[in-house]
Amino acid sequence: MRLAAAGNEAFAAASLAVSELLGCHRCGGGRGQDEELGIRIPRPLGHGPSRFIPEKEILQVGSEDAQTHALFADSFAALGRLDNITLVMVFHPQYLESFLKTQHYLLQMDGPLPLYYRHYIGIMAAARHQCSYLVNLHVNDFLHVGGDPKWLNGLENAPQKLQNLGELNKVLAHRPWLVTKEDIEGLLKAEEHSWSLAELVHAVVLLTHYHSLASFTFGCGISPEIHCDGGHTFRPPSVSNYCICDITNGNHNMDEMQFNSAGNISVSDSFFEVEALMEKMKQLQECRDEEEASQEEMASRFEIEKRESMLVLSSDEDEATPARDVSRHFEDTSYGYKDFSRHGMHVPTFRVQDYCWEDHGYSLVNRLYPDVGQLIDEKFHIAYNLTYNTMAMHKDVDTSMLRRAIWNYIHCMFGIRYDDYDYGEINQLLDRSFKVYIKTVVCTPEKVTRRMYDSFWRQFKHSEKVHVNLLLIEARMQAELLYALRAITRYMT
């Protein structure tokens, strides 16, 4: 996809408009209030695209290279905006290009579902995780493509066909291992308002895409857009000499310094954490070279890790009541994540050698929704294989062992097992604070806090933590897809 030519002029105009909007008397830009027209101009309430990442570490619009400028133009031309997700994902341009290409295809290119259905399904999926950021964006998009405003009053006002999708949305978001071929049959064989197979695959891909994107939004602390609720203020800066340009340029360290001084750990301690992790990777590689565990031992280690993953509490058990503007887009607000072996339940292990993305899911998606399987597959591969051969202050590092441990830990939490992987490596490479962060981002992203983000990999760069989030969301999306597509396959056979 190359939308750059179409989007360059619009992007340049938008950049200028944003610069003027965020300017001040001191720098000759826009003003907090236009004296001639009496118009109050909104100011950004937050400090850049992310609440977790200092804005000075995020690429400033206007200072990007040609490749990144083309990506920004693609994003602007496709979405009509340069959103905060793009501004954070651009730490990893190769992934961002694949992500934008996939999302553009899902939302705007030829496909089984009408455009307004696509955006409404995005709203339903994001609402399951109380992600008002994504809900707000897609409410605007839904209306822009001709969606009926009445549907936004609540799911009960949407067509029955979309209401019927609510149960699958709920289970896929929180307990995908419970999806059955009977769930699929119920949607495909409804007396009225039934789904076709192609429509259902399109819907499933959209649901999993937006569940995962909600994880990224919370995991990276994405700030609301300036035009959305919570993204702007009309109040002037509280300190008389505090210029709005300081906010856009990253000079906003007062509250950051207060937070960091209270929660900091010594640099030497976090330095030794990196060294210890490097040493563990070296030792594990040596053990791999010397001996290989039996299949029985490998299976046993998976079961141990699966049980231990249930003991990692993602966050406080208290459930926050979702806001009405989000919760009206889904039913059964009390339904959430529960570990698959709690309360006497036993869910059989999902063995990848029996049903995997490469051999089964990919071909099914591509057959029923042409080209999408290819796009998703490319995105999975980029996230999984992406490396700059660095770890914190170290260069020329083979990070494949660490990336595989993160990916397989997520699938382990979903009951998915690779029979060629030694799950004993996970406890060696992922410490408890990192596991808490991973489980929260993947299972209950609405509960992620800045303290969780700051507490893992304390010597690593923010770009490396964003990279972790790319692994988390793609592993999560693949896990959900595997359960849904396996159920569709079982229905078809």
Q: Compute how many other C-beta atoms are within 10 angstroms of the C-beta atom of residue 355.
A: 17
Spatial distance between the Cα atoms of 195 and 181, rounded to a whole number of angstroms: 14
The question of whether 131 is a catalytic residue gets the answer: yes
Would you give the DSSP letter of residue 330? S
**What residue has token string 């699966």?**
306
Which long-range contacts link 292-298 to residues 24+ away (Cβ below 8 Å)? 293/422, 293/424, 295/419, 298/419, 298/420, 298/421, 298/422, 298/423
Q: Is 31 left (phi over 0), alpha (psi -120 to 50) or beta?
A: beta
Phi (first) and psi of residue 36, to 5 degrees: -70, -45
Residue 88 contacts residue 71 (beta carbons within 8 Å): no
Spatial distance between the Cα atoms of 373 and 367, rounded to a whole number of angstroms: 8
Residue 103 contacts residue 113 (beta carbons within 8 Å): no
Decide: helix, strand or coil at residue 382. helix
**Which DSSP string corresponds to 209-261?**
HHHHHHHHHHHTTBPPPTTSTTSEE-SPPSSTT--HHHHHTT--HHHHHHHHH
CA end-to-end span of the chain: 36
Spatial distance between the Cα atoms of 174 and 442, rounded to a whole number of angstroms: 10
Residue 298 contacts residue 421 (beta carbons within 8 Å): yes
> Catalytic pick from 24, 131, 220, 443?
131
Phi (first) and psi of residue 43, to 5 degrees: -110, 150
Spatial distance between the Cα atoms of 439 and 312, rounded to a whole number of angstroms: 8
In DSSP terms, 441 is beta-bridged to none
Spatial distance between the Cα atoms of 105 and 113, rounded to a whole number of angstroms: 12
**Which DSSP string corresponds to 145-173?**
TT--GGGGG-GGGS-HHHHHTHHHHHHHH
- Cβ contacts of 89 within 8 Å, gap of 6 or more: 95, 96, 99, 216, 466, 470
Residue 216 contacts residue 20 (beta carbons within 8 Å): no
Q: What positions carry a catalytic annotation? A: 131
